[in-house]
Structure 1
Amino acid sequence: MYQDLLAPIKQFLHCETPQQWIDHAQKPQNLQVLLTDHMICELKAAQTAMWLIRKYAVDKASGDALLAWLKPFEEFIYKKNGSFAELAKANKLTKSIVPKANSAYGQDLIDKMVLLIKEELHHFYQVLEIMEARDIPYQNITAGRYAKGMMRHVKTHEPETLIDKLICGAYIEARSCERFAKLAPFLDDELHKFYVSLLRSEARHYQDYLTLAEQIAGKDISDRVALFGQVEAELISSPDEDFKFHSGCPVSGS
């Protein structure tokens, strides 16, 4: 029922998730790390979007409001402060976001990224809710190689830095969508329904990132899109000893 939604994503990505990763991810003993890393990925996605808005698009007061919005979630993840009940009330942006007077990137970046942050934090809470219901405690885990592996190829001068980061964002969101769809049929009914429910927003996030990259570049960026597609596919298809939501092909014992 969601094949039409996935068709452009499959065309965008340079490889599918390996079956070895699906086989590993569906094992009950890996559910805790799968859900924990998924939850952290939702926060990281919100942080990335917030960083883009604060650096490129808004005034200081708006930037401070964005920081305050994410703070309860960051406190929970990094310092284990706060509670499940408190986070239920936290996903609210209390002030309007005002563009910088000299911002060249416009309201479109702000609108798309603010919506993305709101949705990613909602997904964060939904994962935490599932973990709470299943008595799966939150424990700190190390970051995988995936995002860093792509960021190594980001150019260091503007506007190419911004364009490359937006392209990376598109691939991360597209892979998340593809992986939710691939894994969902192998999970229990609750997780199956939850992962399918995420597909539409993840697909839109990928499109938003790619559209922004093309708009800001104002020129053909297909070579950069292709480069990051190759890098992303290598990270997904090559052996990886560290199992995470965006990890590569599990090796024996990982």
Structure 2
Amino acid sequence: MMNLSAYQSLLEPIDAFLHCPTPSLWIDEAKKAENLSILLIDHMICELKAAQTAAWLVRKYAIDKKSSEILLNWLQPYENLIYYKGGDFHQLLSRHHDISKQLVLRPDCPYAEELVDKMVTLIKEELHHFYQVFDIMSQRNIKYQSITASRYAKGLMQQVRTYEPATLVDKLICGAYIEARSCERFAKLVPYVDEKLANFYISLLRSEARHYQDYLKLAQKISHTGIDDRVKLIGQVEAELISREDCEFRFHSGVPSR
């Protein structure tokens, strides 16, 4: 198995950024063999949602209408697999590798180029992870099934302010916390899963850590003022969501209710 200790310097800033560690009761639930299917299914859905969120940010703020359609078409086969259970899984990664060159930036957006560069890279990586999780599920004969979403992301988004550029800044901060928590949870799961899955989770750490940093850097660049207060407030909400009891077990759920 890959050595998790080699990633300690990467994990330390994430642990410092998050306001609480994943509760041990969540880990106890996650390591149960009967929960592996739901963990992988929700992980795969989270990868798609992360890509969709990044695409929405690019479409909303940084590119023209025709470019927006290009992004939507890029995501469509992945969405078909999740929402309509159709499409050709093995052709997913052959699509739109040069998509950045096809997008036309809006001239009225001063941060369009950086937003597109960061988010398109993130989308590519999240969709690749989607493919990897789907492949792992196929190898283990785990069938995809529709599941309800956890309250985690919705709870974070309730903190988003309703005027610009504060809306974008807060969404980016929320994205940073989601990526940081994902990274932390992958690391927490490593000792309790089989070697193949552990190596996969370890392989995700570097990109998840970079994603949270990219979100924060963009938030600070776009904000007209310092973002420390917003980072702290949203971080406190994130910790509360993670620490509170949840009736359903999901990748980002809180403490399992008894």
- Normalising by structure 1, we get a TM-score of 0.96
2:224 corresponds to 1:224: no
CA distance in 2, matches of 1:121, 1:84: 12
| Aligned counterpart in structure 2 of residue 125 of structure 1, from 127, 131, 140 | 131
CA deviation string 1:70-98 (max 9, x = no partner) = 00000110111113323343464555222
| Aligned counterpart in structure 2 of residue 144 of structure 1, from 146, 150, 154 | 150
| Aligned counterpart in structure 2 of residue 61 of structure 1, from 57, 61, 66 | 66
| Counterpart amino acid of residue 83 in structure 1 | D
| Aligned counterpart in structure 2 of residue 20 of structure 1, from 18, 21, 25 | 25
| Counterpart amino acid of residue 168 in structure 1 | C
Task: Write out aligned runs for 1:150-229 (5 A).
Answer: 150-229=156-235
CA distance in 1, matches of 2:112, 2:146: 37
**Residues 10 and 16 in structure 1, CA contact (< 8 A), matched pair in contact too:** yes
| Aligned counterpart in structure 2 of residue 37 of structure 1, from 27, 38, 42 | 42
| Counterpart amino acid of residue 73 in structure 2 | A
In the alignment, which residue of structure 1 is the partner of 2:109?
Answer: 103
CA distance in 2, matches of 1:167, 1:174: 11
- The offset of 1:218, in angstroms, is 3.5
The structure-2 alpha-carbon separation of the partners of 1:217 and 1:14, relative to structure 1 and needing over 3 Å to count, comes to same
| Counterpart amino acid of residue 75 in structure 2 | L
- The offset of 1:221, in angstroms, is 1.1
**Large movers: runs of 4+ above 4 Å:** none
Structure 1: 5+ residue runs without aligned partners?
none
Give the secondary-structure state (helix, strand or coil) at the position aligned to 2:147: coil
CA distance in 2, matches of 1:21, 1:218: 38
Give the secondary-structure state (helix, strand or coil) at the position aligned to 1:48: helix
CA deviation string 1:19-75 (max 9, x = no partner) = 111110011100110000000000000000000000000111211111110000001
CA distance in 1, matches of 2:97, 2:127: 10
Number of corresponding residues: 252
- Normalising by structure 2, we get a TM-score of 0.95
| Counterpart amino acid of residue 159 in structure 2 | H
| Counterpart amino acid of residue 177 in structure 1 | C
**Residues 14 and 233 in structure 1, CA contact (< 8 A), matched pair in contact too:** yes
- Percent sequence identity is 63
| Counterpart amino acid of residue 102 in structure 1 | D
- CA RMSD in angstroms comes to 1.1
CA distance in 2, matches of 1:84, 1:62: 24
Give the secondary-structure state (helix, strand or coil) at the position aligned to 1:243: coil
**Residues 61 and 112 in structure 2, CA contact (< 8 A), matched pair in contact too:** no
The structure-2 alpha-carbon separation of the partners of 1:91 and 1:197, relative to structure 1 and needing over 3 Å to count, comes to farther
| Counterpart amino acid of residue 165 in structure 2 | P
| Counterpart amino acid of residue 147 in structure 2 | I
| Counterpart amino acid of residue 9 in structure 1 | I
| Counterpart amino acid of residue 128 in structure 1 | F
